[in-house]
Structure 1
Amino acid sequence: MIKWIESCDSTNDEAIKLVGDTTYDAVASLRQTRGRGRLGRTWHSPVSAGLYLSWLSQPKIPQSLGGAIPLLAAVATAKLCDELDIPVMLKWPNDVLYDGQKLAGILCEARTIGHHWYAVVGIGLNVDRPTDGWPSDLNAIALNEVAKLSVDTRQIAEKLVAHLRAGLSDAASKGMVSIIQSWLKYGPELGTPIRRGDHVGRFSGLAKDGSLRMETATGIELIHAGDVHIIDEVD
């Protein structure tokens, strides 16, 4: 069940407080004052324009499957978009794009409390275009800019958490292979030109641990973290 709060610093911080709670496994808000993105970035959180949701995975899977969490979160968001008839592409590790524009971002954080390992999955989903528009440095788009029908934030929150729970169950029973296959369904085509820093190559799928495989002139390079960008072509 989702615990709705009017405002908070970060839904990820609120979600970890649910450890031991038998009623709630997610926190959602329409306002974040200190939303976090990956690599220490700030997540733009305009009031009442987005869904800011964090889901706590109770200790039901081994820590060895930690690499599955960002992937299953991205797949859960993509499946939600499928239900809304919005075609999206996943950008490794966990951005959700519509026509190259960012529709959602995901921040996964691991916490160890006592003898148990928990994953907190934070998802920022753009629902409405902010009244003052998007910041000039953001290539973003919102659900209600592309959905055929008006989107209800609370309804999509419930559906999103349902997909997260199903993804966790799938990972626990079938392992990484199933999650990777699901992610690749929404990921870029094999052979797509990509860049990480000064390194360029072509997307060659995901490794067994969820890392990205980049085919370069010298062989396959495994990328475990950082930003990977889709480019027009490899020189």
Structure 2
Amino acid sequence: MQSGLRSKLLEAFSKADGEFLSGQKISEVIGCSRTAVWKHIEELRKEGYELEAVRRLGYRITKKPDKISSNEIQLGLKTELMGRNIHFEETVTSTQKIAQSLANEGAPEGTIVVADQQTSGRGRMSRVWYSPSGTGIWMSMIIRPKIPINRTPQLTLLTAVAIVQAIEELTPLKPDIKWPNDILLNGKKIVGILTELQAEADQVHSVIIGTGINVNQTKEDFPEELQNVATSIKVETGSDWERAQFIQTILLKFEGLYSLFLSQGFKPIKLLWESYAISLQKTIIARTLKGTIEGKAIGIDDDGVLIIEKNDQSIERIYSADIEMK
């Protein structure tokens, strides 16, 4: 089926919201004869859609395949900015690299880069992020906030809140945030966030926010060395989840928080972040490039910097570190 016809047909089913579409309505929407409607329905079935056909009522989609594509993300997307420009590829080395190139070429704010698989996905400190096909959400967002450079780390914390809110809305799960950029379920990592900046000395050109979200992996899908430290939404719930719907919900949550951030600053975001933070008021070990610091995590400041009270009551501010709870 031509992509334009497929998009029109899927949009019509989306607007029908689970109700039946008559063959006549379908033929009008996609501009084909009534006799050709059956052929287009069969092609949707070949793509993994499950459709119910009832005489005199027509057709309705009862189950969609777990596919990520520009069409799947755009159909039902409720944002005004985020995701209105989508760059999708089946396999990439890294969505961050593509997003950086697109940002340099002038891609509009809200552009997202999504892949079904990454061959060289990466997290903080150049670590590898395991990104197999058909299982997770590998996505980078391009935003162009008019803020001072020193405020850009706050956007990592904002993104974490958006993803937690999306997971809570779509699933029965209650995730935790571990400073600065990990989201955990039952102590195991489910989400990583990587924020990178394109800027001059005093001006932000773009911020690229990369997210890796483990959605439909089984425990056996993870390499052996990750099975005790990583998990997925499927492992924690026992169910498969529609990744396109997750992307839509994350983009909507992010857009709302981003608008709040631009109009009211970091304070409301900070309060939300602290309500999800697992490491606050606990003794932690922070491993930084300059050495290891142990103490009680007492909060984050207005820049998103972690504040640690050491055993001698002195205060240490941590800008970047790996955190381990004792």
**TM-score (ref. length: structure 2):** 0.66
Q: Which entry has the higher C-alpha Rg, 1 or 2?
A: 2
Of structures 1 and 2, the one with the larger relative CO (CA 8 A, separation 6+) is 1
Q: Which moved more, 1:174-183 or 1:56-65?
A: 56-65
Q: How far does the alpha carbon of each residue in 1:4-51 deviate from its partner, in whole angstroms, 9 at most, with x for none? A: 211111111112333333496111111001111101111111222211
Tell me what 1:87 maps to.
Answer: 174
Quick one: distance in 1 between partners of 2:114 and 2:187?
26
- Distance apart, 1:229 and its partner CA: 1.2
Structure 2 residue 99 is the aligned partner of structure 1 residue 18: no
Quick one: distance in 2 between partners of 1:57 and 1:22?
8
Alpha-carbon contact 1:3-1:24 (below 8 Å) kept: no
Tell me what 2:260 maps to.
Answer: 170
Q: Which moved more, 1:145-154 or 1:35-44?
A: 145-154
For residue 37 of structure 1, the aligned residue among 94, 109, 123 is: 123
Structure 2 residue 324 is the aligned partner of structure 1 residue 229: yes
Q: Give the SS at the match of 2:257.
A: helix
Tell me what 2:235 maps to.
Answer: 145
Alpha-carbon contact 2:162-2:253 (below 8 Å) kept: yes
Tell me what 2:183 maps to.
Answer: 96
Q: How does 1:100-115 map to 2 (within 5 A)?
A: 100-112=187-199
Q: Give the SS at the match of 1:120.
A: strand
Structure 2 residue 70 is the aligned partner of structure 1 residue 70: no
Quick one: distance in 2 between partners of 1:191 and 1:24?
36
Q: Give the SS at the match of 2:166.
A: helix
Q: Name the CA shift for 1:181/1:131 in 2 (closer, same or farther; >3 Å).
A: closer
- Distance apart, 1:94 and its partner CA: 0.5
- Distance apart, 1:116 and its partner CA: 4.6
For residue 208 of structure 1, the aligned residue among 302, 307, 312 is: 302
- Distance apart, 1:133 and its partner CA: 2.9
Alpha-carbon contact 2:114-2:140 (below 8 Å) kept: yes
Alpha-carbon contact 1:12-1:122 (below 8 Å) kept: yes
Gaps of 5+ in 2: 1-82
Q: Give the SS at the match of 1:137.
A: helix
Quick one: distance in 1 between partners of 2:311 and 2:296?
10
Q: Give the SS at the match of 1:31.
A: strand
- Distance apart, 1:89 and its partner CA: 0.5
Q: How far does the alpha carbon of each residue in 1:67-114 deviate from its partner, in whole angstroms, 9 at most, with x for none? A: 211101111111111112211110000000001000110111001389
One-letter amino acid of the counterpart of residue 98, structure 2 = E
> What is the root-mean-square deviation of aligned Cα atoms in Å?
2.1
Tell me what 1:48 maps to.
Answer: 134
Alpha-carbon contact 1:26-1:161 (below 8 Å) kept: no
- Distance apart, 1:158 and its partner CA: 1.4
Quick one: distance in 2 between partners of 1:113 and 1:126?
34
Q: Name the CA shift for 1:23/1:75 in 2 (closer, same or farther; >3 Å).
A: closer
Alpha-carbon contact 1:68-1:171 (below 8 Å) kept: no
For residue 4 of structure 1, the aligned residue among 80, 88, 93 is: 88
